[in-house]
Amino acid sequence: MRVSKLREKKSKYKSFTLCSAGIIILSELATWLSMQPALYNVLITIFLFPVVVLSLFLWLNASEKERDIPFIGY
């Protein structure tokens, strides 16, 4: 892979992380301002928190050099 493709992947992971975290924060704010029920906030957080964690891990571990992204072992 070329370096530009690797930078593109890294920026894609960054945008996933920031968008997902932003949606969670906006949902929390809307619940705090009583604009939506708390159940919606819980559902949004349950579905988007794993996306935030995984995309943050991939973003931080994706280098701009040519190598594989490490496997996340449990």
Confidence of residue 8 (pLDDT cuts 50, 70, 90): confident
Confidence of residue 65 (pLDDT cuts 50, 70, 90): low
Structure-block tokens of residue 24:
């969670």
In whole angstroms, give the CA distance from residue 74 to residue 67: 22
Looking at residue 74, the DSSP 8-state letter turns out to be -
Model pLDDT, residue 9: 79
More confident of the two residues 49 and 68: 49
Q: For the segment 23-58, what is each residue's pLDDT rounded down to a tens digit?
A: 999 999 999 999 989 999 999 999 999 999 998 888
Structure-block tokens of residue 12:
């894609």
Mapped onto helix, strand or coil, the DSSP state of residue 63 is coil
Model pLDDT, residue 74: 58
Confidence of residue 11 (pLDDT cuts 50, 70, 90): confident
Residue with token string 């496997």: 71
Structure-block tokens of residue 74:
């449990």
In whole angstroms, give the CA distance from residue 29 to residue 3: 39
